[in-house]
Structure 1
Amino acid sequence: MSFPDLVPDLARALPELRGRLVANQPMAELTWFRVGGPAQVMFTPLDADDLAYALAHLPRDLPVTVVGVGSNLIVRDGGIPGMVIRLTAKGFGAIESLGEGRLRVGAAALDKRVATAAAEAGLAGFEFLSGIPGTLGGALRMNAGAHGGEMKDIVREAYAVGPDGARLVLSLADLGFSYRRSAVADGVIFTGALLAGTPGDAAEIAARMAEIARHREEAQPIRARTGGSTFKNPPGTSAWKLIDAAGCRGLRVGGAQVSELHCNFLLNTGDASAADIETLGETVRRRVLETSGVTLDWEIKRIGIPL
């Protein structure tokens, strides 16, 4: 399917826009699951000023959705109406060492690249990021964590643009981090953050990152078409244990499958639709509720409309 082309009207309404507008951008090209319909219009801002200008002058009734590298995302088959904003490394991927254990990092910087930059600066505390697919912006949005660390441990302040185009500086308290979420309103778009670690031994940091890499290689289907961990861990247990106990390991719906290697991962085996993947996830949730009484909460973000 395709949406009406909004680009000509937006170009007229935003004459000073410097970023790129693309009508009906296929989202399956940009998500790790490789599924989903088009974005009605994709906007790639050149920098934070360009983003702020766009948000300040967009029609108020135009829906706005933000995506990163598509690692933790299901885009439904009908696509995403309105504008999809995608920050790229060119404008938002800088990593700058400020000394005193601090890094200033753009929202489009890959988490693994942030961990590597910290290691090169001799900073400990960032190693967990090497095992998280995605970018800093997504990590801020969901207080990403793994391997004993999470974003709240290293964030000192975050930078963002509000839905009205206002530039924001958010303190750690403003971010309101809790398990796999922040309290920041959905319409606020992260552009970067100030992070801080502690001086560490280079060999120990490298060993920890190598250990995380080995664990991911052995325990997770990292080379498959997947969106990462599908469900949040309920208090006191692991989602994968509940899924396994419910008999869902290897379960299929259409071209979607629960991973045999790690059953908190859903896979596109080659010809899955977004509906297949989401239906499989809901089937897993129902079976887990029936067998354990626990309701699993989605960790993967699901956006767009069904066909």
Structure 2
Amino acid sequence: MTAFPDITPEIRAAAPALRGRLLANPSLSDLTWFRVGGPAQVLFTPADEEDLAHLLSALDPALPVTVIGLGSNLIVRDGGIPGITIRLGGKAFGSVEIDGETLRAGTAVPDMRLAKAAAEASLDGLAFFRGIPGSIGGALRMNAGAHGGETTDVLVEARGIDRSGALRRFTHAEMGFTYRHSEAPEDVIFTSALFRGRPGDRQDIESEMDRVTAAREAAQPIRERTGGSTFKNPPGGKAWQLVDAAGCRGLTMGGAQVSEMHCNFLINRDGATAADIEGLGEEVRRRVRETSGVELHWEIKRIGLNAVA
């Protein structure tokens, strides 16, 4: 694994009041569900929102900034990520507060935990989050959804810090949600979000969550090293059906494989590299295009540099 130049001394000099953790060249493979990927040139875990704002306001505008969450819907390429990678965590970004019918959640909160908190408060409408293997930050960025529900259905507002270090708030309308997409500015790092549920029966809500869990376990390879749904569903269709019809179920490339259980999932079967997984996905796209004429679009986010040969 090739290391990037260590720029942490320059960052500390520019932002002397930093309180969060700053690491040079840590491997990111342990932070992704695929368990692949190169290092981050710098990995920063801010102590809180103010710490994040301090860093962003002090950084050279030319330095690339990348945000990662739970690493569930992500391929980090083998050459790693230049610049500074930010990963939110800890109590400052990982708590859920309930006030009547609303829930404010930090963006490091796993979607599943938000669903559980809503159920415990007898708030209906958020059980679908039980079926999404990511965090609130990712849900905001891609309007995550499952089992008939989407983030847009329950979001009131989102809050974040932009590249200049300024606090920004976005109403539901300003998020510009469409299918698996938000129009929110790319330079904003979301820090929290406010959701609204509706009064319901706790037992009924928990039964719905159990149904969602059972459906995931029966249909998806959740115990494998995977990244969730690989491709977005095309208009009026299902990505998995197109992949299956193209003869790609079980297809392999290096250590990567199209899941036999659900062929819109790629898995790290046997020591795959990020290049194996992404290359397999591109081969699936090519075969689907040839057999059906449909252009599949990645739902999994792919970031970083390819390894130098």
TM-score range, shorter chain: over 0.9
Match of residue 51 from structure 1 = 52
Per-residue CA deviation, residues 272-307 of structure 1 (Å, 9 max, x unaligned), is: 000000000000000000001100000000000001
Counterparts of 2:199 and 2:40 in 1: how far apart (Å)?
Answer: 43
Percentage identity across paired residues of the two chains: 61
Counterparts of 1:231 and 1:200 in 2: how far apart (Å)?
Answer: 34
The answer to whether structure 1 residue 136 and structure 2 residue 170 are counterparts is no
Per-residue CA deviation, residues 51-97 of structure 1 (Å, 9 max, x unaligned), is: 01111111111100000010000000000000000001332011000
Counterparts of 2:190 and 2:31 in 1: how far apart (Å)?
Answer: 19
Counterparts of 1:281 and 1:216 in 2: how far apart (Å)?
Answer: 22
The answer to whether the 8 Å contact 1:89/1:109 transfers is no
Per-residue CA deviation, residues 141-162 of structure 1 (Å, 9 max, x unaligned), is: 0000000000000000000101
Match of residue 172 from structure 1 = 172
Match of residue 261 from structure 1 = 261
> Aligned AA for 1:178?
T
Counterparts of 1:115 and 1:270 in 2: how far apart (Å)?
Answer: 33
Tell me how far 1:172 sits from its aligned partner: 0.5
Counterparts of 2:92 and 2:228 in 1: how far apart (Å)?
Answer: 26
Match of residue 2 from structure 1 = 3
The alignment of Structure 1 onto Structure 2 pairs a total of residues equal to 306
SS at match of 1:89: coil
> Aligned AA for 1:96?
E
Counterparts of 1:215 and 1:97 in 2: how far apart (Å)?
Answer: 28
The answer to whether the 8 Å contact 1:104/1:193 transfers is yes
Counterparts of 1:91 and 1:255 in 2: how far apart (Å)?
Answer: 38
The answer to whether structure 1 residue 303 and structure 2 residue 282 are counterparts is no
Counterparts of 2:163 and 2:14 in 1: how far apart (Å)?
Answer: 17
5 Å-filtered alignment, 1:59-78, equals: 59-78=60-79
Tell me how far 1:270 sits from its aligned partner: 2.6
CA RMSD of aligned residues (A): 0.6
SS at match of 2:282: helix
Counterparts of 2:122 and 2:79 in 1: how far apart (Å)?
Answer: 46
5 Å-filtered alignment, 1:198-277, equals: 198-277=198-277
* Structure 2: gaps of 5 or more residues: none
SS at match of 1:103: strand
The answer to whether structure 1 residue 15 and structure 2 residue 16 are counterparts is yes
TM-score, normalization: structure 1?
A: 0.99
Tell me how far 1:204 sits from its aligned partner: 1.1
Q: Which stretch of structure 1 is more off in the superposition, 197-206 or 252-261? A: 197-206
Match of residue 33 from structure 2 = 32
Post-superposition, which runs of at least 4 consecutive aligned residues in structure 1 deviate over 2 A?
A: none
5 Å-filtered alignment, 1:57-136, equals: 57-99=58-100, 101-136=101-136
* Structure 1: gaps of 5 or more residues: none
> Aligned AA for 2:147?
H
TM-score, normalization: structure 2?
A: 0.98
The answer to whether the 8 Å contact 1:13/1:57 transfers is yes
Per-residue CA deviation, residues 155-209 of structure 1 (Å, 9 max, x unaligned), is: 0000010110000110011100000010012111000101001111112101110
> Aligned AA for 2:199?
P
> Aligned AA for 1:51?
L
The answer to whether the 8 Å contact 1:229/1:299 transfers is yes
